[in-house]
């Protein structure tokens, strides 16, 4: 309950900032979409990294160094496949930042529907989490792209008014049977 009150208070503070800064609504919406995409990418990356680290074997010893042991077929995950497979990189599966960076890479590629395919699920649990992330990411990405297209298409009020008046003028001239050569003068 206390956290809910804090969230509500945070939204009031955010509204106060929006009123104080006086940015155009289109800019506010674009900033909001960027922030939402950053948060969604982070949460998808955390979920993907957690899945790979939880269901695969631990590749690190107590000191945070790679063990170098072989991984059994029941202990594989995307993390073990990435770091013990054909990857030739100095990155270590024991580095939380390296695993997070790989997870964030996967999340952004999944969210934006690019999907390079360099990090792939290898267990049923990873496939299920991947499907969930793709569905959520697809819906979010479609919403963001649709909203950005709406912002761009509704760009300038002056331009919209000009186009509406020109359309009205063209309709009026058509109904009044104004000759084509004269219509150009009035436009």
Q: What is the pTM of this model?
A: 0.74
144 contacts: CB under 8 Å, gap ≥ 6:
33, 36, 37
Q: How far apart are CA 142 and CA 45, in angstroms?
A: 19
Q: What was the pLDDT predicted at 187?
A: 66
Distance from C-alpha of 182 to C-alpha of 187, rounded to nearest angstrom: 9
pLDDT tens per residue, range 72-121: 677 788 888 887 776 656 777 778 899 999 999 999 999 998 888 889 99
Q: Of residues 61 and 165, which shows the higher confidence score?
A: 165
Buried-state track 131-147, b at ≥16 Cβ within 10 A, e below 16: eebeebbeebbeebeee
| Averaged pLDDT of the chain | 83
DSSP H helices, the chain, are 2-21, 25-55, 78-84, 96-111, 124-153, 157-175, 180-186
For residue range 48-79, list pLDDT tens digits in order. Answer: 999 998 887 776 766 666 666 666 677 788 88
Q: Are 55 and 122 in contact (CB under 8 A)?
A: no
pLDDT value, residue 1:
64
Contact call for residues 72 and 46 (beta carbons, < 8 A): no
Q: Which two tokens stand for residue 70?
A: 């072989």
């Amino acid at each position: 309950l206390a956290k809910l009150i804090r969230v509500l208070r945070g939204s009031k503070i955010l509204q106060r900032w929006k009123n104080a800064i006086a940015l155009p609504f289109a800019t506010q919406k674009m900033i909001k979409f960027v922030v939402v995409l950053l948060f969604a990418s982070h949460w998808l990356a955390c979920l993907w990294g957690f899945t790979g680290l939880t269901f695969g074997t631990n590749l690190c010893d107590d000191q945070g160094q790679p063990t170098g042991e072989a991984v059994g077929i029941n202990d594989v995950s995307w993390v073990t496949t990435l770091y013990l497979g054909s990857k030739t990189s100095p990155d270590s599966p024991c580095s939380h930042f390296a695993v997070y960076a790989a997870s964030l890479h996967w999340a952004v590629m999944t969210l934006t529907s690019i999907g390079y395919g360099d990090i792939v699920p290898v267990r049923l649990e990873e496939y299920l989490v991947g499907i969930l992330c793709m569905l959520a990411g697809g819906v979010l990405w479609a919403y963001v792209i649709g909203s950005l297209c709406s912002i761009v298409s509704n760009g300038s009020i002056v331009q919209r008014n000009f186009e509406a008046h020109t359309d009205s003028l063209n309709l009026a001239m058509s109904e009044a049977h104004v000759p084509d050569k004269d219509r150009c003068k009035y436009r």
